[in-house]
Amino acid sequence: MKLYFYNTLTRQKEEFYSIKPGEVGLYTCGPTVYNYAHIGNLRTYIFEDILKRVLIYNGYHVKHVMNITDVGHLSGDRDMGEDKMEQGAAREGKNAWDIADYYTQAFKKDIARLNIVDPDIWVKATDTLPEQIALVKRLEEKGYTYRTADGIYFDTSKFKDYTKLSHQDLEALQEGARVERNPEKRNPTDFALWKFSPKDSKRQMEWDSPWGVGFPGWHLECSAMSMKFLGDQLDIHCGGTDHIDVHHTNEIAQSEAATGKRFFNFWMHGAFLIIAGGKKMAKSAENFLTLENAFLSNDINPLSYRFASFLTHYRKPMEFSDEGIEAARNGLLHLQNQVRQVVAAGIGGDKAISAEYKNKFLGAVNDDLNMPRAMAVIQEMLKSSVSDTVKLTTILDFDRVVGLNLDQLDQERALPEAVQSRVDARITSRTSKDFATSDRLRAEIEAMGYLVQDTKDGMKIIKK
């Protein structure tokens, strides 16, 4: 079945194609590790996880790279403000390297709790300094850079199509960007490739470079890393919608200026999480909800949040509230109970995946990851007249995409070895119409504390 994604670059749903047949290079912008991820950030990683699982479900081999921003992300837009890592270090009285390690581990724990599949390659910004410096040199040789008192900048006026991703009006953008003061910048949209360490104080994270001691600009790392690890497989690049106007726009400008080639064919962006009342969640705001304080500390399975995120399409803002948490929790419990019922209901019946529902499910997820529709298909399937064993096989197949650990419910009811071996033997004896053996095995299973029922859907084994 064909696969369609909405591409921010072209502003339309397009049929997906990969550069190399059967393989996809996927780059997802990772966290800036100066604080915990809030659940708005995590929504984006869930959307990217679904994207990756859908690609795999469609038979692609995916090579996924995610960066860890542990230097160079400043608190203000357009290279103003303080380095967030140094801010985090000052806030907690630790050094920036320890802060980075601590919050990297916290992030990895969060995504594991959400059953997000790890990238194939994790890469820290501070581990790719040589590649980032080489990229600035390349841009310098091609005449795209200039020097100011505080760093080396990219001249955006030299790159035509600067706004091809954001589709913004460049003049309006220049006006908007003018409010921030850096009189040495030639154009308000120009951005730092390399920033110098301040003369009056020593930074905790700084490196030598051909231009002087300092640190890389935030946008640089994602270009350097994706080209290093994905090279000729620049298929899909993702992030939150807040990355479109500046971060991803600048990544495209510096990468395409350096290579003269198109940088990524597909750009996909996840929408914000909005707190009931209309506020966007931010680390600086009071409503800084994390997996820990919104779910774990209230004894709510964090997968409830994963479940909740499926009910709003990834390109639409998702509203979040206490009632929303409660509804998500109940929604997941309900689904788990439905699956437990089909698990308990049949053994030894037809184990084929329902082609009808698989088709419907694929139709939903392949249509720009339409998870609300996919969840409706799951409900339709579970309530349908297909047999319980088929329901189980089918839902476990869908779980390869939804990732709600439904297979654990199947394992939960795993029978003791001695019972299972007799069940297997009884299925064989019934198939060969050896009813004497079948009856003997039934008596043995019942003596072990289980009821045996033969139904049209197969054998049911129920604990007495």
CB of 71 to Zn ion, least distance (A): 13
Tokens 């499926």 belong to 310
CA distances from 28 to 74, 121, 127, 269 (A): 19, 11, 17, 10
CB of 9 to Zn ion, least distance (A): 16
Asked whether 48 and 115 are in contact (CB, 8 A), the reply is no
Which stretches within 369-434 are classed as H helix?
A: 371-382, 388-402, 406-412, 417-431
Order the strands of the 318-320 sheet from edge to edge: 279-280, 273-275, 318-320
- Which range of residues in 26-34, 42-50, 339-347, 450-458 is near Zn ion by CB under 5 A? 26-34
Q: Does the protein bind Zn ion through residue 268 (CB under 5 A)?
A: no
Helix (H, G, I), strand (E, B) or coil at 325: helix
Judged on CB neighbours under 10 Å (0-12, 13-18, 19+), 170 is middle
CB of 247 to Zn ion, least distance (A): 6
CA distances from 161 to 39, 64, 115, 156 (A): 34, 28, 39, 9
Kindly tell me which of 121 and 427 has the beta carbon lying closer to Zn ion. Answer: 121
How close are the terminal C-alpha atoms of the chain, in Å?
45
Q: Does the protein bind Zn ion through residue 114 (CB under 5 A)?
A: no
- Which range of residues in 18-26, 29-37, 399-407, 438-446 is near Zn ion by CB under 5 A? 29-37
User: From the list 9, 29, 42, 50, which residue makes contact with Zn ion (rule: CB under 5 A)?
Assistant: 29
CB of 364 to Zn ion, least distance (A): 29
Q: Does the protein bind Zn ion through residue 220 (CB under 5 A)?
A: no
Q: Does the protein bind Zn ion through residue 289 (CB under 5 A)?
A: no
- Which range of residues in 12-20, 27-35, 101-109, 304-312 is near Zn ion by CB under 5 A? 27-35
Strands 214-216 and 191-196 turn out to be: antiparallel
Kindly tell me which of 54 and 222 has the beta carbon lying closer to Zn ion. Answer: 222
User: From the list 54, 66, 222, 423, which residue makes contact with Zn ion (rule: CB under 5 A)?
Assistant: 222
CB of 222 to Zn ion, least distance (A): 3
Which stretches within 295-416 are classed as H helix?
A: 303-309, 322-345, 355-365, 371-382, 388-402, 406-412
- Which range of residues in 175-183, 217-225, 295-303, 362-370 is near Zn ion by CB under 5 A? 217-225
Q: Does the protein bind Zn ion through residue 227 (CB under 5 A)?
A: no
Taking the C-alpha atoms of residue 332 and residue 384, their distance in angstroms, rounded to an integer, is 19
Q: Does the protein bind Zn ion through residue 68 (CB under 5 A)?
A: no
CB of 234 to Zn ion, least distance (A): 14
Kindly tell me which of 222 and 461 has the beta carbon lying closer to Zn ion. Answer: 222
CB of 178 to Zn ion, least distance (A): 25
- Residues facing 452 on adjacent strands: 461
Q: Which run of H or E residues covers position 112?
A: helix 96-113
Contacting positions for Zn ion (CB under 5 A): 29, 222
